[in-house]
Structure 1
Amino acid sequence: MSDIKSDASNGAGSAGESVDKGQQLTQFQLVWRRFRRHRAAMFSLVVLVALTLFAFALPLVWPYDHGVYREIAGNQSPSWQHPFGTTNQGQDVFAQTMRGAQQSLKVALTVSVMATGFGALWGAIAGYHRGRIDAVMMRVTEIFLIIPLLVAVAALGGNLTGGTTWYAVALIIGLFSWASIARLVRGSVLSLREQEFIEAARASGASASWIILRHLLPNAAGPIIVAATLLIAIAVQVEAALSFLGFGIQPPDISLGKMVEGARTAAFTRPWLFYPPGLIIVAICLAINFIGDGLRDALDPRQTISRR
């Protein structure tokens, strides 16, 4: 009763509908079936998996890393040995691009998990208790909502020595990214708390923390998952912008935004330095957004579901 409620009550199919000799589809199978019908989302999922392998698996077998090699001639155009060419300092741009994608994805995933976890819990507590607790918590949320994200993160990151590492950058971005999730979850909880299964949980003596964690958050999982997915794309853009402005990941490490910043004057003279990291940023963000659209359609309980 407390899990994500089945959509069978929407009239899509009777309780007797089954698959392969009476085996009913699970909620996950129903969502996956919907998601597969979204062609753009499926293609984007393949692209995202390919980019993830490019960032985390390919560096294990590639002969170069993002550092400087004395034996590499500087300022080479793309070749079989260096598919994206080399920098003036003798760095393999292909290896740099893999490292940059890896760092950007690590920042984005960390931000998404951290901001979604904290924001969902904050919004659920505010929506369940209402009254003064809700008013105070929502005022705090609104303060974080009106602060310009990029300006706040740049100001804080620029004054922290640890801001040059990927995990410090992720922590700073996540600190200012949870408020929208909190407001979204609060809205869902305000409607869920009036449902009969919540009243039954209260009547049985369940504590507020148990109801929030066991009943409310699982039933609000749909919008939370979609928001968390889209937050990955936002974090990629913010990290790239910070690195471009000089407040993000710094040398000797590298990120996609830092690569774009370093090659901004060579967009036409040496395009192999500028376009690969820029195109990967665009590809990650587009893929995440299409996946988010697919998840939103798949998790929408108002859509008709076929259980066969």
Structure 2
Amino acid sequence: MSDLQAPTSAATPPSADPPTDAPDTAAHGQLRLVLARFVRHRMAMTSLAVFVLTVLFAFAGPLLWAWDHTVHREILPNQPPSWDHPFGTTNAGHDVLGQLMRGTQQTIKVALTVSVLATAFGAVWGAVAGYYRGWVDAVMMRTVDVLMVVPLLVAVAAIGGNVRGGTTWWVVALIIALFSWTTIARVVRGVVLSLREQEFVEAARAAGASDARIILRHLLPNAAGPVIVAATLLIATAILLEASMSFLGFGIQAPDISLGLMIDNARTAAFTRPWLFYPPGLFIVLICLTINFIGDGLRDALDPRQTMVRR
């Protein structure tokens, strides 16, 4: 009888707790997917390589080149390109290559500073407006609408012309950032309006999370994709604004130099001494194009609905 007796209980597998690193694994998997999409975007990768080389030219080049952006008595004025001065010299005795390195460096510093400041402020502004809605949203977004109506170049030029110390690059960056955050605020507000009703936000409220924690820890990270793309494109906008301000005489001024100021100084030599006029203009176009293609690649990589990547 004992041989025919069925077992009273089936063997149960050993209990296994769910892995504690599951969220991290999912996040790493998503990051790898984004990186794979970005790497497959040929124009974005090519543009990234060109932009990195431009940054090295601007920041490492002055350490290796014999001449800086200032006037040197040893330099013969108004000389065409040569082995000693590949981009020629100016009437005052500047080495144009040294000026180009310094001008690219200052322009990139202004653009990156504007992108960081405007993105941070605009993202928080848009997230607060989208989260609270109602009269808070109305007041905050009407402020954005008023600032967007004001011509951006006119506003930054007017302030730059009346601010003492406006010739330094960081003051120029602050002035541009003051009027450049509105687009990012509208983008983030639209994303937060769709996210605030999601289950993870309701769960955070039920757990007793404060509004500030929900905005900073839950809503803004989930809006990172559009924010990163907008911040990347803002770099190109800041470069053009800084060049325009310097060209009009309201941006970085001598004895410092920027790409826009180089164009302004050589505007009468476009046909007689093209080595003074065209290199800074080409660098402005090159940087803006590479940034736009990088932003295009980031947009495709971060879009969860993207199934194919343009090559």
TM over 0.5: yes
Give unmatched runs, 5+ long, in structure 2. Answer: 1-24
- Report the equivalent of 1:209: 212
| TM-score (ref. length: structure 2) | 0.90
Counterpart of 1:199 (choices 187, 199, 202) is: 202
Are the equivalent residues in 2 in contact too, given 1:111–1:174 (CA < 8 A)?
A: yes
Distance in 2, Cα, partners of 1:54 & 1:216: 38
Q: Distance in 2 between matches of 1:258 and 1:48?
A: 21
**TM-score, normalization: structure 1?**
0.90
Once the two structures are superposed, the pairs formed by residues 231-242 of structure 1 within 5 Å of their partners are 231-242=234-245
Match of 1:46 in 2: 49
Select which of 263, 281, 284 maps to 2:284.
281
Aligned to 1:189: 192
Candidates 110, 122, 125, aligned match of 2:125: 122
What letter matches 1:49 in structure 2? V
Distance, in Å, in 2 between the alignment partners of 1:148 and 1:252 is: 29
Q: Does the 8 A contact of 1:77 with 1:86 survive in 2?
A: yes
Runs of 4+ off more than 3 Å: 22-25
- Structure index of larger Rg: 2
- The residue number in structure 1 matching 2:92 is 89
- Say which SS state the counterpart of residue 161 (structure 1) adopts: coil
Q: Structure 1 vs Structure 2: percent identity of aligned residues? A: 71
Structure 1 residues 212 and 24: alpha-carbon distance in aligned structure 2, compared to 1, 3 A threshold: closer
- Measure the CA separation in 1 of the matches of 2:41 and 2:150: 35
- Cα deviation code 1:137-189 (max 9, x no counterpart): 11111111111100000000000121111000000000000011001000000
- Equivalenced residue count is 285
Determine whether 1:163 maps to 2:166.
yes
Counterparts of residues 42-191 of structure 1 (less than 5 Å)? 42-191=45-194
Q: Quick one: which of 14, 19, 33 aligns to 2:36?
A: 33
Give per-residue Cα distances to partners, 1:185-227, cap 9 Å, x unaligned.
0000000001010011111110000000000000000000000
Amino acid at match of 1:201: A
**Secondary structure, counterpart of 1:301 in structure 2:** coil
Q: Determine the structure 1 residue equivalent to 2:20.
A: none
Query: Separation in 1 of the partners of 2:308 and 2:247?
Result: 45
Q: Deviations over 1:66-106 (max 9, x none)?
A: 00000100011111111100001110000000000000000
| Secondary structure at the counterpart of residue 166 of structure 2 | helix
Q: Distance in 1 between matches of 2:30 and 2:278?
A: 42
Instruction: Give 1:265 shift.
Output: 1.1
* Structure 1 unaligned blocks of 5 or more: 1-21
Map Cα deviations across residues 3-44 of structure 1 (whole Å, 9 max, x no partner): xxxxxxxxxxxxxxxxxxx99952221111101111111110
2:243 is equivalent to residue 227 of structure 1:
no
- Pairwise CA RMSD: 1.5
